[in-house]
Amino acid sequence: MATRALLNWLNELNPTTRAFAVLWTLSAGVYLLFALYRTIFGFKAGRKLPPGPWFHFPLLGDSVHLAAGNPVKFFFERFKRYGPVYRTQMLGSRIWVVADTGALRPPLNDQGAFMQIPFRSFRALMGEDSFIRETSFHGPWRKLFGSALGPPQLSALVPRIEAVMREHLAAWEAVGRINIFREARLLGLDLAVDVITRVDLPPDVDRAWFKGQVEVFLDGLVGLPLRLPGTALWRALAARERLVRVLVPHMAEQHARFTQEWKAAGEDVARYAAARQEQQTSCSGVTAATAATAPAPASPDDVSASTAAGAPASNASASNSSSSSSSSSSSPAGPPSMIEAQWAGWAAIGRGDLVQAAHSVLHLLVASGDTTRTALFNTWALLAVAPRVQDELFQEQKKVMEQHGPELSYQALCAMPYMDATMKECMRLLPAAFGGFRRLTADLPVGDYVIPAGEVIWYVTGLLHCLDPVLWDGDTSGYLPTHMDWQRNLEGAFRPERWLGGGGGGGGGSDGGSDGGKGQPGDVRPRTLSTFGMGSHLCLGMNLVYLEVKLLLALVLRKYRLRPETPDMLRRCRRLFPFFVPERGTDGVLLVPRAGEAAAVVAAA
């Protein structure tokens, strides 16, 4: 009956539409059969495979659900249904979400797995290879990269970061408000291009044009893998070509210098790192590498290492070294730059050519561009709706100014425990990165299940924070546990004081000697902060990001209160994945001068 009705309907269509309908139905059928085949027979028999939803939207998978809704809520629902390991689909890739920190430990420490972002669009733009997977020299390479971001280097970066920020602040002050979403992106781009990567451009290339092309490139990274004219990936690939064309001739000289040094070090990362460190010590009189290399935490859930490294170390000797940590303009006798560290990594796997060197600049912009802007925006967004926290921060700034004067030096930035706590709390509630991926090279047992070698696993930051063994009591009956429900209970969820408390909920005072913040009995220090990764690939830019966000907040909050033009901006926000995108027109924040208060403090200081 139904078949006859279908045939009649088809007969009534014009030939072109009919052909199209038949083709579409056939391809949908083939796709479904293929998906079924892979699900049933795609794995070796005899293993208990983790569960997952039986249906996924073709190509898009769970990105459909995630695009409109709170992703933590979404993953928490899945966790309730399937437990700590389940199958999902994202942008054409099958992925296994793993929320069991014990099971994550080996893969996150490069045992039976390597780092790989599975999204095809990302791989098309960034390439398939990565030297970061090479365990034989990953340790020395981390040391090399880390030495470009030690306390002396960070200290030297402060004035540059501040100059860029002050320029932006002047523009916001002129109109008395900030569109925090757009402005965070522009500021993030300026910091990534002008300060972190320090791209040096030929005089005839417009920097604004260059940054515009970088934006197009970044926009194509996480999207549908469609290389069709007009798609984000298509435009990003074209932007990449243009950027590389500009960079290649201009960086030839610096790259030639690097190649010479690289050869002199026997084309070995450890020896190159040692040689650079030697030069650095003899140039500036300080050894940055020891403090710079954040040690990988012993285990993924041992976040004490990651949280301890989550802010510039207060006791680090912050030399006022003027040594450059720039990429394009550093001299070979100075400390290594981040880009040189990248080049060493590529050269070590036989990719030391100039074109790859230009691609490395883009890789560094990816590592630092959207992540930094998301950290800036997420922090602003939470603070704008939390006047209590703003006031606590202002009180802390008053003390910092009394002790260090009005200048925002590296030392002053290291003396802000409540600000550190606020940053961590923002990164816990609204992580600037949604986790990391590993491709398994060996079967991974998780509880009763086994994920086969070859599959991709994903630790979802927000879910791990939700299941924090210290904050979560195991109750799955509610909407979301209070410590993550910032959309409906901001005061209960957003509590920087947690990070100042000890294990028993003692409130402020025990972290770095702060007396800032009003702790409550429930303010227990969280165990999990995975925003910057876990295990042996813990983010190397973490201290830099903390420094940037703290500097911006100090600059703004010393003079202004932030007041959102749309007070329920956070609740109205629909798009949170992969980055928090507010509803159009709701991200305006007013700069309300602190009038006499601020002026009096500055005068006293």
Binding residues for heme: 539
For ligand HEM, the nearest residue by Cβ is: 541
Rounded CA gap, 568 and 487, in Å?
A: 9
Shortest reach from residue 596's CB to ligand HEM, in Å: 35
CB of 71: closest distance to ligand HEM in angstroms? 15
Task: Provide, rounded to whole angstroms, the least separation between the CB of residue 191 and ligand HEM.
Answer: 8
DSSP symbol at 314: T
Alpha-carbon gap, residue 535 to 175, rounded angstroms: 45
Length of the chain measured in residues: 605
Residue 309 engages ligand HEM in binding (rule: CB under 6 A): no
Residues 407-446 that bind ligand HEM (CB under 6 A): 432-433, 436
Measured from the CB atom, is 482 or 536 closer to ligand HEM? 536
Contact 355, 527 (CB under 8 A): no
Closest to ligand HEM by CB, 346 vs 394, is 346
Out of 372, 379, 422, 482, point to the residue binding ligand HEM (CB under 6 A).
372
Sole window of 89-97, 167-175, 211-219, 371-379 interacting with ligand HEM (rule: CB under 6 A)? 371-379
Whether the CB-CB separation of 71 and 577 falls below 8 Å is answered with yes
Task: Output 145 or 410, the one with its CB closest to ligand HEM.
Answer: 145
Q: Least distance from C-beta 367 to ligand HEM, angstroms?
A: 4
Q: How far, in Å, CA of 223 to CA of 225, rounded?
A: 6
Tokens of residue 230, six digits: 């007009």
- Residue 541 CB, nearest approach to ligand HEM (Å): 2
Contact with ligand HEM (CB under 6 A) among 371, 397, 482, 566: 371
Q: Select the residue interacting with ligand HEM from 115, 429, 450, 601 (CB under 6 A).
A: 115
Q: Are 605 and 405 in contact (CB under 8 A)?
A: yes
What residues have CB less than 8 Å from 362, skipping those under 6 apart?
Answer: 126, 214, 217, 240, 243, 244
Least Å from the CB of residue 35 to ligand HEM: 27
In whole angstroms, the minimum distance from the beta carbon of 436 to ligand HEM comes to 2
User: Dihedral of CA 425/429/430/432: which sign?
Assistant: positive
Q: Are 382 and 570 in contact (CB under 8 A)?
A: yes
Cross-strand pairs, 368: none
Residue ranges in 152-191 that form contacts with ligand HEM under rule CB under 6 A: none
Residue 18-47 contact track with ligand HEM, rule CB under 6 A, x = bound: ------------------------------
Distance, in Å, from the CA atom of 495 to the CA atom of 523, rounded to the nearest integer, reads 7
Q: How far is the CB of 406 from ligand HEM (least distance, A)?
A: 27
Residue type, 598: A
Question: Per-residue x/- marks for ligand HEM, 454-473, CB under 6 A?
Answer: --------------------
When asked if residue 195 is in the footprint of ligand HEM (CB under 6 A), the reply is: no
- DSSP secondary structure string for all residues of 202-223: -TTS-HHHHHHHHHHHHHTSSS
**Phi and psi, residue 189, nearest 5°:** -65, -45
Question: Is residue 96 within the footprint of ligand HEM (CB under 6 A)?
Answer: no
Which tokens hold the place of 163?
A: 């100059």
SS3 content of the chain, % helix, strand, coil (to 5): 55, 10, 40
Q: Which is nearer to ligand HEM, 345 or 496 (CB)?
A: 345
Distance, CA of 546 to CA of 420 (rounded, Å): 8
Q: Known binding site: residues? A: 539
Residues from 500 through 559 that contact ligand HEM (CB under 6 A): 531-533, 537, 539-541, 544-545
322-351: contacts with ligand HEM (CB under 6 A) = 338
Minimum distance, C-beta of residue 204 to ligand HEM, in the bound complex (Å): 28
Q: In terms of CB distance, is 343 or 532 closer to ligand HEM?
A: 532
# residues near ligand HEM by CB under 6 A:
23
**365 binding ligand HEM? (CB under 6 A):** no
Short-list 176, 161, 164, 167, CA closest to 559: 176
| Binding of residue 380 to ligand HEM (CB under 6 A) | no
Query: 387: which residues sit within 8 A by CB, 6+ positions away?
Result: 561, 563
- The span from the CA of 388 to the CA of 173, in Å, is 23
Q: How far is CA 430 from CA 44, 378, 483, in A?
A: 39, 6, 12
CB of 303 to ligand HEM, least distance (A): 12
Footprint of ligand HEM on residues 130-149 (CB under 6 A)? 132, 142, 145
* Burial degree of 571 (CB within 10 A; 0-12, 13-18, 19+): middle
Strand 588-593 to 177-179 pairing: antiparallel
Q: Which of 164, 199, 375, 385 binds ligand HEM (CB under 6 A)?
A: 375
Q: Is 337 helix (H, G, I), strand (E, B) or coil?
A: coil
Provide the binding-site residues for ligand HEM, judged by CB under 6 A: 115, 132, 142, 145, 196, 338, 367-368, 371-372, 375, 432-433, 436, 531-533, 537, 539-541, 544-545
